[in-house]
């Protein structure tokens, strides 16, 4: 009998090895072993033991019943231990050398945190060890996730950073709202730790939670704004199968308008911009991402009457988004004539063409600086609003304006400037400790511009809800802290004084305008202020002659047209050394045919 068992033993071994092979137990990467591998081991060992039991019975061999139970338990124990010992050794080694690694705190103790901790623990490429976790669920405190203790809620963050000597904080809470994230970041930013965040809920849905998906905490996270809800149906009906023109389509706002417009299946998107590099970049991006959308890029200036007319004659746009403008306040203070030529008369010429060639809707991108302006750029935008208000009364085209504040990350905005200054080691320059601004991300602003365009009926000035105003000093401090530096020790903050034309605060609404609600709580309508159109266009004629003569009295003329405009009379634009041309020497016919407006749009 014993001899027969010896004969059967090799057969049993071979059968067991085949079963293990079929269950891919020799193909698994055991450094990443998890509960799935344990289940696989259980199935393989059970099947191997069952075949051994029936094999012995069929061979008429005698074996004690207890043998099968002991053999089964030993097989599972030894196979599991041999597979997982590598992970145990790595875990022990990781903890033994934790002093030399970056110490990480995980905020959140859910599925996302579990995946992040697991990857950090098993990876040989990540120079860090998770030392503690934070979660607001009281039932989880003092329990463990992947061997890491959950030490407290958000109120314990600062204390635990000191106790565990934390150098890095990872926020792994993709399902939590932005306001909660902001509150947590407000606590974390004073710890001096490097911070990263898992972007959003879709990573959990798509099972894409990993360290590679982490991004650094951006200043936008500190705004705490919830995602904007759009009426996609309204926008789709409004844009779908239409020819859409975006002037200034290569700029910050213009390019984002193009990115969002193509999602709503326009018949054709026409991008008009004077800067070929910007226009080329957005053209290539859209060709790659939306190869089936007809995108045309035309180079030209809104100041060129013939070029603008040819553009409208050729493409006959149904919808016009007019984003082309000079927007830098200090530069326009030094070159006010250029601001008027581009912003005011660029808008005027584009509006004439839109009306003449039958555009259904014209949307002007305006700014909060148009309200009680103290600089030429803001005053020029207020005149643009007045122009489209007058056009709307005298044209079949629906003319509207959308007014909003600063956008984060746009060309020339304060955030890129601060980042460059921080990378250079400082100082970070702030004009005034009390200066405040309204902020919105570019995608947020453009989304609301699109919906406002869909809501338009003509003549409205749409005002976007920009949320709470933000102190620029706080913005600078937060950005320094988020970059892992200490204010005053690593990076200095320097106050430079208000620039010409700059206000301590911006306003979204003039007193006379009032507010009317729309179906979207983020979009309001200001009541247009009445003005003498005939007198306005007479003054516009004088202004045109003045700026093309390069005269230095442009601010006085602007004040006559925009009574709310306030300026420093001691500041004048850059003067030419040569004698200025006289107003009567300018041939207006070389630039625009006929003012006022009513002759143009009949």
**Catalytically active residues, by annotation:** 369
Whole-number Å distance between alpha carbons of 76 and 53: 16
From the list 337, 328, 344, 330, the residue with the least C-alpha distance to 575 is: 337
Here the tokens at position 304 are: 């060129």
Whole-number Å distance between alpha carbons of 434 and 475: 12
Helix (H) / strand (E) element for 543: namely helix 533-548
Task: Classify the C-alpha dihedral 118-122-126-127 as positive or negative.
Answer: positive
DSSP, collapsed to helix, strand or coil, labels residue 289 as helix
Whole-number Å distance between alpha carbons of 448 and 257: 10
Here the tokens at position 266 are: 């326009």
Per residue in 66-82, is it b (16+ CB within 10 Å) or e — as a string?
eeeeebbeebbeebbee
SS (H, E, C) 258-283: HHHHHHHCCCEEEEEECCHHHHHHHH
Bridge pairing between strands 493-495 and 168-171: unpaired
Q: Which residues have CB under 8 Å from 334's CB, separation 6+?
A: 500, 573, 574
Tell me, what DSSP letter sits at residue 110? S
Bridge pairing between strands 243-247 and 168-171: unpaired
Here the tokens at position 563 are: 């009574």
Here the tokens at position 576 are: 């030419």
Q: Do residues 282 and 298 lie in contact, with contact meaning Cβ atoms separated by under 8 Å?
A: no
Q: Do residues 557 and 550 lie in contact, with contact meaning Cβ atoms separated by under 8 Å?
A: no
Cβ burial, residue 496 (10 Å; 0-12/13-18/19+): exposed
Whole-number Å distance between alpha carbons of 220 and 218: 5
Per residue in 444-468, is it b (16+ CB within 10 Å) or e — as a string?
bbbbbbbbbbbbbebbbbbbbbbbe
Q: For the chain, what is the radius of gyration of the CA atoms? A: 34
User: Which segments of 305-441 does DSSP mark as H helices, in order?
Assistant: 305-315, 329-334, 336-339, 345-356, 376-393, 414-423
Using N-to-C axis directions, what is the helix angle for 276-289 and 252-261, rounded to 10°? 20
Whole-number Å distance between alpha carbons of 347 and 544: 13
Bridge pairing between strands 144-145 and 148-152: antiparallel
Here the tokens at position 434 are: 């009390």
From the list 194, 195, 201, 207, the residue with the least C-alpha distance to 119 is: 207
Q: Do residues 72 and 45 lie in contact, with contact meaning Cβ atoms separated by under 8 Å?
A: yes
Whole-number Å distance between alpha carbons of 251 and 255: 6
Whole-number Å distance between alpha carbons of 225 and 210: 25
Q: Taking the CB of residue 435, how many other CB atoms lie within 10 A of it?
A: 19
């Amino acid at each position: 009998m014993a001899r027969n068992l010896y004969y059967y033993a090799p057969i049993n071994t071979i059968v067991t090895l085949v079963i293990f092979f079929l269950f891919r137990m020799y193909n698994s990467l055991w450094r990443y072993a998890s509960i799935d591998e344990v289940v696989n081991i259980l199935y393989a060992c059970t099947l191997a033991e069952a075949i051994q039991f029936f094999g012995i019975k069929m061979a008429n061999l005698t074996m004690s019943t207890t043998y099968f139970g002991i053999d089964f338990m030993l097989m599972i124990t030894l196979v599991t231990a041999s597979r997982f010992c590598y992970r145990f050794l790595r875990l022990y080694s990781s903890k033994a050398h934790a002093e030399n690694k970056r110490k990480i705190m995980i905020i959140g103790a859910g599925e996302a945190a579990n995946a992040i901790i697991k990857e950090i623990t098993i990876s040989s490429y990540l120079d860090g060890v998770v030392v503690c976790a934070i979660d607001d669920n009281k039932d989880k405190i003092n329990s463990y996730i992947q061997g890491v203790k959950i030490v407290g809620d958000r109120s314990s963050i600062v204390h635990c950073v000191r106790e565990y000597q934390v150098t890095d904080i990872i926020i792994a809470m993709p399902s939590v709202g932005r306001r909660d994230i902001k509150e947590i970041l407000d606590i974390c930013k004073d710890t001096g730790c490097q911070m990263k965040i898992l972007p959003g809920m879709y990573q959990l849905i798509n099972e894409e939670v990993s360290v590679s998906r982490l991004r650094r905490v951006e200043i936008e996270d500190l705004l705490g704004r919830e995602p904007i809800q759009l009426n996609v149906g309204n926008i789709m009906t409004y844009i779908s199968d239409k020819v859409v023109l975006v002037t200034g389509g290569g700029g910050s706002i213009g390019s984002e308008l193009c990115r969002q417009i193509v999602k709503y299946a326009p018949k054709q998107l026409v991008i008009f911009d004077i800067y070929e590099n910007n226009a080329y970049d957005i053209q290539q991006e859209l060709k790659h991402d939306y190869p089936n959308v007809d995108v045309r890029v035309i180079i030209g200036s809104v100041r060129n009457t013939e070029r603008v007319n040819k553009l409208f004659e050729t493409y006959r746009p149904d919808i016009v988004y007019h984003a082309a403008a000079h927007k830098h306040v200090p530069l326009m203070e030094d070159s006010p004539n250029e601001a008027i030529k581009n912003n005011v008369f660029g808008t005027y010429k584009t509006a004439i063409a839109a009306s003449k060639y039958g555009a259904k809707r014209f949307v002007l991108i305006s700014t909060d600086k148009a309200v009680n302006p103290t600089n030429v750029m803001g005053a020029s935008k207020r005149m643009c609003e007045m122009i489209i208000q007058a056009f709307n009364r005298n044209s079949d085209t629906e003319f509207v304006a959308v007014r909003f504040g600063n956008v984060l990350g746009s060309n020339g905005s304060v955030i890129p400037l601060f980042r460059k200054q921080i990378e250079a080691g400082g100082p970070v320059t702030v004009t005034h400790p009390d200066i405040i601004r309204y902020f919105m991300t570019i995608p947020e602003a453009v989304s609301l511009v699109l919906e406002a365009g869909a809501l338009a009926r003509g003549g409205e000035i749409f005002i976007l809800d920009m949320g709470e105003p933000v102190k620029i000093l706080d913005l600078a401090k937060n950005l320094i802290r988020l970059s892992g530096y200490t204010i005053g020790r690593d990076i200095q903050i320097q106050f430079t004084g208000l620039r010409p034309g700059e206000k301590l605060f911006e306003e979204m609404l003039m007193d006379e305008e009032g507010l009317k609600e729309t179906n979207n709580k983020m979009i309001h309508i200001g009541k247009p202020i009445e003005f003498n159109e005939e007198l306005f266009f007479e003054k516009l004629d004088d202004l045109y002659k003045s700026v093309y003569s390069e005269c230095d009295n442009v601010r006085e003329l602007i004040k006559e047209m925009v009574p709310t405009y306030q300026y420093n009379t001691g500041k004048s634009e850059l003067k030419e050394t040569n004698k200025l041309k006289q107003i009567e020497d300018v041939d207006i016919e070389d630039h625009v045919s006929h003012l006022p407006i009513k002759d143009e749009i009949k």
